[in-house]
Amino acid sequence: MNNRWSIVILGLLCALFCAVFFAFFEYYEEEQHLGWGRDAKRNPYLAAQMFHQQRGFQASSSDSLIKLGELANYETLFVDNGGQIISKKRLQQIIQWIDAGGHLIVAAQNTSDNENSRLFDYLELQVVQTNFVGSGFLNSATQFPPDETNPKPQPQVDESHKQAESEKQAASHVQAGGASPQQKVAKREAKVAEKELSTLVFEGVEGELTIHFAPSLGITHPAFTDSNWQSAHYQTLYWAGSRYGVHFFQLEHGSGLVTVVASPGIFQSSNIILFDHSYLWQILVNQDDLGIIYGVNMPSLWSMLIIYMPELLSALLVLTIAWVWHKRQRFGPLINDAVTVRRSSAEHIAASAAYIWRGDWQQRLLQPVRDDIQQRAERRVTGYDTADPAQQLLLLATATELTLSSVQHAMHNREKLSEEHFLRSVRLLQRIRDKL
């Protein structure tokens, strides 16, 4: 009974503890800002890419033109460095893609593009250093700004609490002496001198766009100074810039469009939020399938072989399979190699005699010697050819000075002989032949 009451009391205490805990428990979410992610550090145009995707359109990026794939899959292509187009074959591919209706947005990053870029040579463009003196926050194309330009992500809250949370955060910013993200952007824009800004005007777009190109870089083209200049390949459409030079240039080539900007920093994740940079990006890429090239990294040898030499890889594969088939482990008993060396006459005779001996054909081995003895005795022993067999044995014994029993055993023995008796018979027959 006492054990039951102890269990009941313990259960009531646990229930009371849980009720008190959940009555005073307050659940909340907190996110900690860890700076730029790995993808954002690798791709400086990730914000522009995601902005285009959030609008419901296709966008992909790569650090090499080769890795991007077929140009026919894209309607607009952004290349952050005109120096990437260094081969004549690559230039022809891009020109054909533009003639078919593609829109190429290419940036000039430094004056070395004049020597490295075949595209700029083809378009008769020159990248020049302006007379601007100063740092300019867009001059460093790959440097990310401090964390203040990338505001801390806000915690996810229900719709009913969004307004209360925003008011609470704004109050906390004011109390802590901080500034809202909009204030931080306005503070960065205020540091830019008005003479560094460029004003762009587009047909069908209301108002003017204020853009902060890198004031230290400018673009020159013969059409800027010669009103009568013409090209057989393309037609100039529009150019604009700041007090320091031209930073934006558009031309029509076939059915497509080429846009050249001085420094791609305006579209990087740290700067696209400033001025009208995001609006310019939206105007240029429109609703097209977009491809972004953000570097000059060479693809691996394996990927280049797959793209340019698939036949070589197929041949290597077939050769490897043939080599493995040749070197593979074979099953079954090993077959000895056939001996092609011819044996001597003595070896042949010995082999034939051994064969006859194993077949119990001993008399066939002795008979040739016996026949030879008969022929010699008929020629050299008087009366041998006319004598009867018994007299012939006697005549042979007399002529060879051997006993009659020995001669009879050698000439007429038909029994199976052992090896010792066979050798004895052979020596005896040879001795009879030699005596005749």
Are 277 and 192 contacting, i.e. CB atoms less than 8 angstroms apart? no
Tell me, yes or no, whether 269 and 193 share the same domain: yes
pLDDT tens digits, 176-209: 445 677 888 888 888 888 888 999 999 888 889 9
Tokens of 417: 């002989």
Is residue 397 included in any domain, yes or no?
yes
Tell me, yes or no, whether 362 and 255 share the same domain: no
Tell me, yes or no, whether 117 and 205 share the same domain: yes
Residue 293, helix vs strand vs coil: strand
Tell me, yes or no, whether 244 and 98 share the same domain: yes
CATH number, domain with residue 122: 3.40.50
Tell me which of 257, 282, 297 is where a domain ends.
Answer: 297
Tell me, yes or no, whether 50 and 129 share the same domain: yes
Q: How is 124-171 classified by DSSP, letter by letter?
A: T-EEEE-S--S--TTS-SSPPPPGGGSPPPPPP--GGGHHHHHHHHHH
Q: What's the pLDDT score for residue 21?
A: 81
- Choice among 44-48, 121-125, 158-162 with the minimum mean pLDDT: 158-162
Is residue 259 included in any domain, yes or no?
yes
Is residue 302 included in any domain, yes or no?
no
Q: At what angle do helices 362-380 and 419-435 cross, to 10 degrees?
A: 20
Q: What's the pLDDT score for residue 379?
A: 82
pLDDT tens digits, 272-316: 999 999 999 999 998 889 999 887 666 677 777 776 678 888 899
pLDDT value at 165 more than 60: no
Paired sense of beta strands 235-242 and 290-293, if any:
unpaired
The residue segments making up the domain with residue 210 are 38-135+185-297
- Choice among 120-134, 352-366, 375-389 with the minimum mean pLDDT: 352-366
Is residue 232 included in any domain, yes or no?
yes
pLDDT tens digits, 314-369: 899 999 998 888 877 666 676 777 766 777 778 887 887 777 777 667 777 778 88
Is residue 164 included in any domain, yes or no?
no
Tell me, yes or no, whether 130 and 241 share the same domain: yes
How many domains does one find in the chain? 2
Percent residues over pLDDT 90 in the chain:
15
Q: What's the pLDDT score for residue 13?
A: 86
Q: What's the pLDDT score for residue 339?
A: 65
Tell me which of 240, 266, 297 is where a domain ends.
Answer: 297
Please tell me which residue, 436 or 80, carries the higher pLDDT value: 80
Tell me, yes or no, whether 203 and 111 share the same domain: yes
